[in-house]
Amino acid sequence: MTEIYIDGAWRKAASGETIPVYEPATGGRFAQIAAGGAADIDAAVAAARAAFEGAWGRTTATERGRLLTELSRRIAAEAEELAQIEARDTGKPMKQARADIGALVRYFEYYGGAADKLHGEAIPYLNGYNVAVVNEPYGVTGHIIPWNYPAQMFGRTLAPALAAGNATVIKPAEDACLSIVRLAALAHEAGFPPGAINLVTGLGEEAGAALAAHPGVDFISFTGSPEVGVLVQKAAAEHYAPCVLELGGKSPQIVFDDADLDAAIPIIIAAIVQNGGQTCSAGSRVLVQEGVYDALVGRLAERFKDLRVGSPDMDLDCGPLISADQKRRVEGFVEGALRDGVPLIACGSVAEGADANGYYVAPALFGPAPRDNLIACEEVFGPVLVVLPFRDEADAVALANATDYGLIAAVWTRDGARQQRMPRLLRCGQVFVNCYGAGGGVELPFGGVGKSGHGREKGFHAIEEFCRTKTIVHHFG
Ligand code: NAD
């Protein structure tokens, strides 16, 4: 059984309760985590506050950068073991788990290097005045994260918050958090002082809700579903804490008649099968101009038929989904589309030898779908791709912007002017032209519009997001 980590020490949950952990590849129970609750969150927030007002709050940016860099080295040294934990806990293929740990190393490396590069500003003002704008950490930051990329999310949310000088409390998802338990131990060994990083595992409605509502938390970073994001933001508003919300997506791949299909097709496929489609920035809609519709869809169908799903060790295109609930949810979307008469163009298969009790779902390619069909507008969070035809550029923009989400998008075209025009017209936080990066790019500011959330993570912007500015005015004569 794993424990929670508060003030530099491991302990059981105050309630003594635990939560079972199931292995997605077999459906079997294989671990237990501590069921932290409001009392544990109280203790974690108090420890973070004491750290912020104590040793951690006095560290220089350079010292924080060195600690982050040291943690990146320790993660790199244990990369294979961490990837094994992540693959078993989430079900993802080993190659995906290894790539995730590589990205995690990059997060700590990047923010380790960035910590002492955050400068303030000097503002010209009246004669006889000096004005400085300095960046200050919020104090105690709360981090609530989902199950799809636990290890990567640990780096994405904590590294910039720590680089900025905040003391942190993280509440990972109950479905998958074993890598994070190990990462907290590695952070301890790397030398982070007690209270700088606190980890409380537990249920969302208990530990997560208590963290969002805690008046001692100065800033909340939430990644997860839009529904819970709204609850978290409301709870944070009760104690005037700002939030960054990274929610879901229904990101379009927009393919024009003049696109290089040889380049586009493998990337379109990878962007939906990556992590079994359980990626907020999965490319889950393909918008295709009418002239190339048959050619593109025919070739995508050929590829889909060959896609295979299996256990992490089989290391195929997709692993099982995270849970029995998620499997039911994805199958519900597939059945709904079939009931509504949306053509199923092609589907992949579950490999022979995959455990019948695992949470496997075969990849499915649907289309053409009515534009208002659920499968065309709502996030499935599984290996399901939908194809929608469009007429011209204006129609493509209208269709791309027609969902409530706005996370990322790709534009595939050889027309140089269109390559410049399209990104400005799309309502989302990242646009890729003739390429795509689902979840990729530690250096690239990332975040949503509308139902995909607000605020930015990744890149240098994330350190700024975890700071507030203070304006200091000196009068000297
Ligand atoms: P979820 O919202 O159910 O859970 C996310 C986290 O919130 C978990 O830690 C959970 O325990 C916690 N939680 C649940 N109820 C809570 C409550 N009432 N108060 C406080 N915390 C609570 O989401 P999920 O099902 O774990 O993840 C899937 C969703 O996350 C998808 O919609 C996906 O698109 C989104 N996601 C977004 C990004 C992004 O960066 N935009 C990244 C990954 C996942």
- What are the sequence ranges of the domains in the chain? 4-247, 252-441
Q: Residue 390: how many CB atoms within 10 A of its CB?
A: 22
Instruction: Name, in order, each residue with C-beta under 8 angstroms of 209's C-beta and a sequence gap of 6 or more.
Output: 231, 235
3-state SS assignment for residue 380:
coil
From ligand 1's centre to the CA of 379, what distance in Å? 13
For residue 272 the two structure tokens come to: 């939906």
pLDDT of residue 64: 98
Bridge-based pairing of strands 251-255 and 283-289 is parallel
Measured from CB, residues less than 6 Å from any atom of ligand 1 are 144-148, 171-174, 204-205, 208-209, 212, 223-225, 228, 231-232, 246-249, 280, 379, 381, 407, 448, 453
Per the CB < 8 A criterion, the answer to whether 347 and 364 are in contact is yes
Q: How far is CA 171 from CA 150, 205, 386, 444, 455, in A?
A: 11, 11, 34, 25, 19
Q: What is the biggest distance separating any 2 CA atoms in the chain, rounded to whole angstroms?
A: 82
Q: Which of 108, 132, 411 is nearest to 254 (CA)?
A: 411
pLDDT of residue 469: 97
pLDDT of residue 349: 98
Axis crossing angle, helix 178-190 with helix 61-77, rounded to the nearest 10: 130
Taking domain 4-247, whether its CATH number is 3.40.470.10 is answered by no
Q: Is there a shared CATH topology between the 4-247 domain and the 252-441 domain? A: no
Tell me which H or E stretch contains 252. Answer: strand 251-255
pTM: 0.97
- pLDDT averaged over the chain? 97
Q: How far, in Å, CA of 18 to CA of 119, rounded? A: 44
Transcribe 126-151 into DSSP letters: STTEEEEEEEEE-SEEEEE--SSSHH
Options 3.40.309.10, 2.60.40.1220, 3.20.20.70, 3.60.15.10; CATH for 252-441 is 3.40.309.10
pLDDT digits (tens, 9 = 90+) for 69-83: 999 999 999 999 999
From ligand 1's centre to the CA of 150, what distance in Å? 11
Q: Which of 177, 243, 280, 428 is catalytic?
A: 280
pLDDT of residue 313: 97
From ligand 1's centre to the CA of 169, what distance in Å? 16
pLDDT digits (tens, 9 = 90+) for 125-176: 999 999 999 999 999 999 999 999 999 999 999 999 999 999 999 999 999 9
Q: Which of 362, 330, 327, 367 is nearest to 345 (CA)?
A: 367
pLDDT of residue 477: 83
pLDDT digits (tens, 9 = 90+) for 396-428: 999 999 999 999 999 999 999 999 999 999 999
Q: Which of 79, 136, 69, 80 is nearest to 107 (CA)?
A: 69
From ligand 1's centre to the CA of 248, what distance in Å? 9
From first to last of the 477 residues of the chain, give the pLDDT tens digit: 999 999 999 999 999 999 999 999 999 999 999 999 999 999 999 999 999 999 999 999 999 999 999 999 999 999 999 999 999 999 999 999 999 999 999 999 999 999 999 999 999 999 999 999 999 999 999 999 999 999 999 999 999 999 999 999 999 999 999 999 999 999 999 999 999 999 999 999 999 999 999 999 999 999 999 999 999 999 999 999 999 999 999 999 999 999 999 999 999 999 999 999 999 999 999 999 999 999 999 999 999 999 999 999 999 999 999 999 999 999 999 999 999 999 999 999 999 999 999 999 999 999 999 999 999 999 999 999 999 999 999 999 999 999 999 999 999 999 999 999 999 999 999 999 999 997 679 999 999 999 999 999 999 999 999 999 999 999 998
3-state SS assignment for residue 13:
coil
pLDDT digits (tens, 9 = 90+) for 209-226: 999 999 999 999 999 999
Tell me which H or E stretch contains 122. Answer: strand 121-122
Burial of 15 (0-12, 13-18, 19+ CB in 10 A): middle
pLDDT of residue 439: 66
User: Cα 217 to the chain's mean position, in Å?
Assistant: 21
pLDDT of residue 440: 72
Q: Say how many Å lie between the first and final Cα of the chain, rounded.
A: 65
For residue 455 the two structure tokens come to: 């605020």
Q: Which of 3, 70, 109, 246 is catalytic?
A: 246
Sign of the Cα pseudo-torsion (96, 82, 72, 161, in order): positive
Q: How far, in Å, CA of 200 to CA of 217, rounded? A: 14
- Residue 280 annotated as catalytic: yes
Q: How far, in Å, CA of 447 to CA of 454, rounded? A: 6
- Residue 428 annotated as catalytic: no
